[in-house]
Structure 1
Amino acid sequence: MHDAPTWDPQQYLRHAGHRTRPFHDLLARIAELPRHQTPARIADLGCGPGNVTALLAERWPDAHITGYDNSPEMLKEAEFYAGPTKGGGHLDFTTADAADWAPDESYDLIVSNAALQWVPHHADSFKRWLDAVKPGGTFAFQVPGNFTSPSHALLGELCDAPQWRDRLDSHGRRFVHILQPADYLERLADLGCETDVWETTYVQLLQGDDPVLDWVKGTALRPVLTVLEDDTGAREAFLEEFRDLLRKAYPSGRHGTVFPFRRIFAVARKPEAA
């Protein structure tokens, strides 16, 4: 993707428990694969540091699974999981950008976890990806749906403030590429799929000092931090301003900091061949 941010896998994984939960919920709604061949062939589009790709190997231990990502930092981290799996399958990782990924083989499952929100017009690629899904196979994804929440709205407003506008431009608002659940349902149903779309708001309880700031440092803040990475003073000044805004929006309570997080899910199953 154009002007892709620099990713920090360790920062991203600091909240791995909360970040992984939606993938478990998505995985639970994916039916068994058609098994036109053995092993099953699976693609994880936007695999990040590979920790959820490894969960696919737990569900289908004999499958050949490939994780695709455009971040060298994430792919380096994902290599920890590469190699043979306990069930006789195989995990590998390679470079690809979801913005223009064109499958060159057929898959029993194409899955994407918290990645397509970075891709403008990603729904326009559904047909191309589903064309690569075997009859009876599945295309499934989940994306954040929290771009109007304070964590993101305040980031956009701060980037647009006079002291930051010229430097940060639209970096705080550039990720609102998701559709509403009904729109995803219509797009996938139009492509002939049996489609299950839903949304969930996880009311997450975060711990530690400024935990919402720590959370967005791993995701929404990456483009801003990338732009400011060579200017320590500006970076720290921006983070201090943003921290103060987040403290007011997400006050710490007796049990931690409550951080509601909406997610949108879709599971589209292709019909079996006639």
Structure 2
Amino acid sequence: MSDWNPALYGRYEDERTRPARELLARVPLEQAARVADLGCGPGNSTELLLNRFGGAQVVGIDNSPAMLDSARQRLPGTPFELADIGTWSPAEPFGLLYSNATLQWVRGHETLFPRLYSLLAPGGVLAVQMPDNLGEPSHRAMREVAALPSYTAHIGDPEALRAPVLSVGQYYDLLAAQGAKVDVWHTVYQHPLASAAAIVEWVRATGLRPFVDRLPAALQVGYLAEYEKRIDERYPARADGQRLLAFPRLFIVARKPA
């Protein structure tokens, strides 16, 4: 799969940063010595962490060189590291491990979440937000088009491109079993977007990437046209002409005993 496109991702930065702000608002820490932004992307969430914890050592972690380049331009002087969250193993514990809209791309949550929790210092917090939208029309349509004869040979099994997140109760149990005090909730955002094409542009930067990137250039146009047609049918214009993109997100805040 090609690298992430920071410019495309950033076209809806305000909307994408809103859940990051709301996750951070529920982190029950007055201060933290060491903070990691797991899946920092272009640095928009890292900037929130720097503003909240001014005296902390804040580091951004991502596996995308393009995103890290963008983050370094945005926040010169802040350390950013190229790493795979699935195997990341820091030498010292952290007061806050924060991850906004990233861990849905990392498989094996049954072991990943306890492992990340184990990297916390006493009293530390694991704070995570993940999209929970695989059942939404926007994502069902991706898989439907991928299953058409023109595309299936290139894309393969569309169900295998992103693992579904676990249930609220499963995340609670995973972390509560480690002794954590767990705060978990689910929110459905409603994003007004100007057109079906705008919805396609939104998901083109994230969830649609694994589908389109597997296609040769000659087939990408046709895939996107068929996908946009289905989006147009499933997200009708509202009274003001806007389309409402429903976007469910799952939030988890787990605190380690001091």
Q: For residue 29 of structure 2, what is the aligned residue in structure 1? A: 32
Aligned pair partner of 1:59 in 52, 57, 64: 52
Is contact 1:67-1:92 (8 Å) kept? yes
Matched residue type, 2:220:
R
Q: CA deviation at 1:127?
A: 2.4
- Please give the residue correspondences for 1:37-116 in structure 2 after superposition, counting only pairs within 5 Å: 40-84=33-77, 91-116=78-103
TM, length-normalised to structure 1: 0.89
Partner secondary structure for residue 79 of structure 2: strand
* Residues 100-141 of structure 1 deviation map (CA, whole Å, 9 limit, x = unaligned): 112221111001110011111134122222222111110110
Offset, 1:6 = 2.3
Matched residue, 1:88: none
Which one of 168, 183, 197 corresponds to residue 181 of structure 1?
168
How many residue pairs are counted as aligned between the two chains? 257
Of residues 241, 248, 253, the one that matches 1:262 is 248
Partner residue in 1 for 2:220? 235
- For the 8 Å contact 2:43–2:74, the answer to whether it is kept is yes
Contact 1:195 1:269 in 2 (8 A): yes
SS in 1 for 2:150: coil
Superposition pairs of residues 219-230 of structure 1, within 5 angstroms: 219-228=206-215
The CA deviation string for residues 185-216 of structure 1, in whole angstroms up to 9 with x for no partner, is: 11110110000000000111112562110111
Verify the 8 A CA contact 1:120 1:177 in the aligned structure 2: no
Identify the structure with the greater helix proportion: 2
**How far apart are 1:23 and its partner, in Å?**
0.8
Q: CA deviation at 1:34?
A: 5.9
Q: How does the TM-score come out when normalised to structure 2?
A: 0.94
**Is 1:9 the counterpart of 2:6 in the alignment?**
yes
Give, in angstroms, the shift of residue 235 of structure 1. 1.0
Paired residue secondary structure (1:253) = coil
CA 1:205–1:16: 2 relative to 1, 3 Å: same
CA distance in structure 1 between the partners assigned to 2:57 and 2:91 by the alignment? 15
Paired letter, 2:98: V
Distance 2:231 2:115 in 1: 40
Deviations 1:217-238 (A, max 9, x none): 010111123223xx33211111
Distance in 1, matches of 2:29 and 2:39, equals 22
Q: Which runs of 5+ in 1 are unaligned?
A: 85-90
Backbone CA RMSD of aligned residues = 1.6
User: SS at 2:127's partner residue?
Assistant: strand
Contact kept? 1:43, 1:109, Cα under 8 Å: yes
User: Could you tell me whether the CA contact under 8 Å between 2:36 and 2:94 is conserved in 1?
Assistant: yes
Gaps of 5+ in 2: none
Give the superposition deviation at 1:33: 4.8
**Offset, 1:270:** 0.2
